[in-house]
Amino acid sequence: MSTNNGRFQPKPEDKFSFGLWTLGNRGRDPFGDAVRPTLPPNDIVAILGEVGAWGVNLHDNDLVPIDASSAERDRIVREFKQACKDHGVVVPMATVSLFFHPVFRDGGFTANDPEVRAYALQKTMRAMDLGAELGAKIFVLWGGREGVETDACRRADEAVKRLRDAVNYLCEYNITCGYGYKFALEAKPNEPRADIYMPTTGHYLGFIPTLEHPEMVGVNPEVAHEQMAGLNFMHGVAQAWEAGKLFHIDLNDQMPGRYDQDLRFGSANPKAAFWLVKFLEDVGYDGPRHFDAHAYRTEDCCGVKDFASGCMRTYLILKEKAARWNGDREIRAILKEISQGNGTSALAKYSKKNAASLSAHSFDKEAILKKRLPYERLDQLTVDILLGVR
Ligand code: DIG
Ligand code: MN
Ligand code: MN
């Protein structure tokens, strides 16, 4: 990807990370075979180092085949650690695949077969061991198979109980092993299951307080998944942040009303991506900027690099636009004007005295209606900045 005078070049402090499965995506889809060759994990690490990414993430089986011997596993891990060292790439997050192997066809933690539920716990514990060995401090749980095609198979509240038991168990394992993980729960409304339990970040925010170690558990919102549910992604992120639960984030993009597209960040809806980047930068979010996305099926290996560079470049462009927006004199003046109060807001802080004053206060609705709300101008200034004419 050609870059003009080095602007928007990723740096380690940007904390851009990619999963092995993102650059390793071979372009297979439900209607077509793979179009790209397999990229070995250590080659992916080399590419990430080349394009300036900070981190690489992985599911257990992205790196270690599910039935590898312990000697084979140790060799693979040793060589992977060396590749990360050689290319200056860290491992901030690990996760577990409880969705690819057929044994999880009915779910993992919520499956009806107690042996499957136990195997899901064992597999996750081993994935936690692997991640800890690689230095990961965030462990994502995405319940892609935790769902139904028919609600005849189990009561939905039983599924919630099973999920809670599993997360409580893994929190205890985290404590016993002293891994220091923060768990980040990732929601999705459907695909591959017809309905997935915990379909949105909001559902997980309601679930976390019911856990035995809620302080250890947060969320990993993904752009495409919340937008599949028709939601404003930044609002969900803002609520998670405000609750102190934004432990990780999956950045990509998504067209409305479609399957999970996992598009290059900012490529479908740059304005929504702008509000997200502005929020993350305004509040000082210090976590990984993880791109859970993949290149178009039409791309070759060079196109995969373009995809990865494009994710980071767009984030940095929008970060600069956010600084421009925050510094714009007319925008600042409008924000000041629309936030001005007339003293009645003091009544909103409860005390008996305030409550008495508030109930006695008479509001001049006509005067309130005269207050300008120049949001058309404010949004046009935003569009001007985004389109590069301001
Ligand atoms: C899908 O969006 C999920 C899986 O790729 C993985 O478990 C998680 C990691 O961020 N996202
Ligand atoms: Mn996705
Ligand atoms: Mn994801």
Question: What is the tens place of the pLDDT at every residue in 174-227?
Answer: 999 999 999 999 999 999 999 999 999 999 999 999 999 999 999 999 999 999
- Same domain flag for 203 and 352: no
Q: For residue 41, is it within any domain?
A: yes
Is the pLDDT at 243 greater than 80? The verdict is yes
Asked, for residue 21, whether it belongs to a domain, the answer is yes
Residues 170 and 89 in one domain: yes
**HEC states along the chain?**
CCCCCCCCCCCHHHCEEEEHHHHCCCCCECCECCCCCCCCHHHHHHHHHHHCCCEEEEEHHHHCCCCCCHHHHHHHHHHHHHHHHHHCCECCEEECCCCCCHHHECECCCCCCHHHHHHHHHHHHHHHHHHHHCCCCEEEEECCCCEECCCCCCCHHHHHHHHHHHHHHHHHHHHHHCCCCEEEEECCCCCCCCEECCCCHHHHHHHHHHCCCHHHEEECCEHHHHHHCCCCHHHHHHHHHHCCCECCCEECECCCCCCCCCECCCCCCHHHHHHHHHHHHHHCCCCCEEECCCCCCCCCHHHHHHHHHHHHHHHHHHHHHHHHHHHCHHHHHHHHHHHCCCCHHHHHCCCHHHHHHHHHCCCCHHHHHCCCCCHHHHHHHHHHHHCCCC
Q: Is residue 1 part of a domain?
A: no
Q: What pLDDT score does 46 carry?
A: 98
| Mean pLDDT on 162-166 | 99
- 305-334 pLDDT tens trace: 999 999 999 999 999 999 999 999 999 999
Query: Do 106 and 223 fall into the same domain?
Result: yes
- Give the pTM: 0.97
Is residue 155 domain-shared with residue 274, that is, in the same domain? yes
Q: Which atom of ligand 1 is nearest to the CA of 250?
A: 10
Are residues 70 and 209 both part of a single domain? yes
Q: Does a structural domain hold residue 298?
A: yes
- Print the domain residue range for 367: 330-386
Is 52 domain-assigned? Answer: yes
Q: Is the pLDDT of residue 166 over 80?
A: yes
Q: What is the overall mean pLDDT for the chain? A: 97
Does the pLDDT at position 343 exceed 80?
no
One domain, residues 322 and 338: no
Higher model confidence: residue 348 or residue 57?
57
Atom of ligand 1 nearest to the CA of 262: 2
Taking only the tens place, the pLDDT of each residue in 83-120 is: 999 999 999 999 999 999 999 999 999 999 999 999 99
Active site residue 59: yes
* pLDDT for residue 1 is more than 60: no
Q: For residue 5, is it within any domain?
A: no
- Closest residue (by CA) to atom 2 of ligand 1? 292
Asked whether residue 274 falls in the same domain as residue 346, the answer is no
Does residue 380 share a domain with residue 283?
no
| 128: in domain | yes
Residue 259 sits in the same domain as residue 142 = yes
| Average of per-residue pLDDT across 33-39 | 98
Assign residue 24 the CATH number of its domain. Answer: 3.20.20.150
Cα 252 to middle of ligand 3, angstroms: 9
Q: Which of 276, 299, 327 is the last residue of a domain?
A: 327
Last residue of a domain, one of 306, 327, 348: 327
Q: Compute, in angstroms, the gap from residue 89 CA to the centroid of ligand 2.
A: 23
Residue 95 in contact with ligand 1 by CB distance below 6 A: yes
pLDDT at 344 over 90: no
CB of 260 shorter than 6 A to ligand 1: no
Q: Is the pLDDT of residue 350 over 70?
A: yes
Whether residues 282 and 341 fall in one domain: no
User: CB of 142 closer than 6 A to ligand 1?
Assistant: yes
Mean pLDDT of 246-264: 98
Q: Looking at residue 3, what is its pLDDT?
A: 52
Domain presence at residue 158: yes
Query: Of 308, 327, 346, which marks where a domain is finished?
Result: 327
- The answer to whether residue 5 scores a pLDDT higher than 70 is no
Cβ–ligand 1 distance for 226 under 6 Å, the answer no
The verdict on the CB of residue 140 being under 6 Å from ligand 1 is yes
Ligand 1 centre from 292 Cα, in Å? Answer: 7
Among 43, 60, 62, 87, the active-site one is 62
The arithmetic mean of pLDDT across residues 360-378, rounded, is: 95
> Which ligand 1 atom is the nearest neighbour of the CA of 220?
10
Q: Which of 100-109, 147-156, 362-371 has the lowest mean pLDDT?
A: 362-371
Same domain, yes or no: 268 and 188: yes
The total number of structural domains in the chain stands at: 2
Collect residues with CB below 5 Å from ion ligand 2.
224, 260, 262
Nearest ligand, CA 21: 1
Mean pLDDT of 139-153: 98
Q: Are residues 178 and 308 in the same domain?
A: yes
What is the percent of the chain where pLDDT is above 90?
Answer: 96
Atom index in ligand 1 nearest the CA of residue 21 equals 5
User: Can you tell me the mean pLDDT for 373-386?
Assistant: 98
117-143 pLDDT, tens digit per residue, is: 999 999 999 999 999 999 999 999 999
